Each structure stands twice: as C-alpha cells, then as structure tokens.
Amino acid sequence: MTPAIEVMRGHRSIRKFTGQPLTESQLEAIMASAQAASSSSFLQASAVIRVTDPGIRAQVMNLCANQAYVGSAAEFWVFCADFHRHLHWVPEARTGFAEQLLIGAIDTALMGQNALTAAESLGLGGVFIGAVRNHPYQLSELLELPAGVIPLFGLCLGHPDQDPEPKPRLPKALMFSENRYPNEPETELMTEYDRQVRHYYQTRTGGNKDMTWTGQIADILAREARPFMLEFLRSQGYCLR
C-alpha cells in the first residue's frame, strides 16, 4: 500500500487531545490540502471558520451538545456551504436552487475530508462534529454568517491523546456493486457485521454498550432528526426552488 492509502485506511475519530497547538506550517498544509479538493463546476462553494477566540469557542461547544472535545481540541473549524461570496461578486447570479445545496454540501464535505486526511498524515487526529447543526440559528448569529452561508459540520483537530481501534466498516459486498443495485442484500454478511460491531462497542466501552449496527440504525432512524432544518435552509436562501 502507498502511504496515502495507509493513512486513509487507518482513520479513527479522535476525541481526546493533548494541549499541544498546531504549528503554522501544519495549519498551512492542512488548509492548502482542503482547498485542493475537487469542486463542482469550480464554484468553490465553501467557507471555513476557524474558531480561535476562547469565549466564542465555549459558546460553540455549548451549542454542540457540550461535547468537551469541541473546547479542548487545538483547533476547531466550522465548515459551511457558501453562496454569499458568489452573490457579492456577481449580484445577478441566480441562487436558491436545491441543486446548489447539494453542490455546496458536496464541495464542503470533500474539503473537510481532505483537511482531516492531511492532518492524519502529519500524525494529528480529529473528529467531525455534526452537532453544529443542533442550533443553526444561534450558531449563525454567533459566527455572523450572512444569508447564503450555512454551517454543515465542525472539525476538531489536534495531537491525539488516545489510540482507539478503527471502527469496523460494512463489508465491501454490502456497499459496492457492479452495473446495478443488488436485488437482495447478503443476510449472512450483515449478521456477521452486526456481530463485529457489537464486539467493537463492547470492547471499546468495557461492556457498557451492547449495540449492533442494525440496532443503531433502528434507534437513529426511529425519530425525526433536526426538524427545523428545512426552515433554516430556506431562511438562508437555500431550497427555495
């Protein structure tokens, strides 16, 4: 395997960090790598807010379900879809289409993954924070996000102070197919995968979590997630048509 593949296959979410800051050269390398991500039609429809003010960071952590690592990581970045920039420079641009939400989300996700992979290649670690969407109105006000900008996810970065096992992924045969979507999923593969995930959680939590992958999905998808999100997106100028 190449070093790049080894880094990507060795990914673990890190939620405990030392107090060591990142160097300027590390920050520059991560930012440059993020910007090198592919961009649909070269729209570059993303913005990244690096939260360095301790007071603002504390408020962001509070809005993100008080996840301690949002406050303790050396770096916390908020990745946003951004069409405000386009409207500023080209006021006649037509925005508000659902497709533009997809473009902004995809562009920004690619940037985020590039950033984390670059950080991991430098011996750093991180974890994505979807909880930035828990209180989008308050977060947007705190970070002074104008219309056309929506927070999609956060990213903690820092020097790892833990060494967790990689979380087992779905078997390739359940995710990859050829020419067409498979007619029936492989029941035996899913049964074995559920066993692996249960073992992972039991080992990771010292027996405190007994959960399969399908059990986790049943729990998560049994309730509506963030029912306010469509209203927020429209308030920021997305999904109007």
Q: What is the pLDDT of residues 203-226, one digit of tens each?
A: 988 889 999 999 999 999 999 899
Q: How far is CA 70 from CA 17, 57, 100, in A?
A: 10, 8, 29
The mean per-residue pLDDT over the stretch 116-136 comes to: 98
Entry pTM: 0.95
DSSP structure string for the chain: --HHHHHHHT--B---B-SPPPPHHHHHHHHHHHHTS--GGG---EEEEE---HHHHHHHHHHTTT-HHHHHSSEEEEEEEE-HHHHHH-TT-----HHHHHHHHHHHHHHHHHHHHHHHHTT-EEEEEGGGGSSHHHHHHHTTPPTTEEEEEEEEEE-BS--PPPPPPPPHHHH--SSS--SS--HHHHHHHHHHHHHHHHHHTTTS----HHHHHHHHTTS-S-TTHHHHHHHTT-S--
Per domain, the residue ranges of the chain are 3-165+224-235, 172-210
And the tokens for 64? 């993100």
Least reliable range by pLDDT among 73-77, 169-173, 203-207 = 203-207
- The predicted pLDDT at position 185 comes to 78
Cα separation, 23 vs 42, in Å, equals 30
Q: Class for domain 3-165+224-235, per CATH?
A: alpha beta
The share of the chain scoring above pLDDT 70, in percent, equals 100
Give which of 119, 134, 105, 127 is closest to 47, Cα–Cα: 105
- The predicted pLDDT at position 183 comes to 86
- The predicted pLDDT at position 164 comes to 93
- The predicted pLDDT at position 184 comes to 83
The mean per-residue pLDDT over the stretch 7-32 comes to: 97
Instruction: Write the pLDDT tens digit of every residue in 189-199.
Output: 999 999 999 99
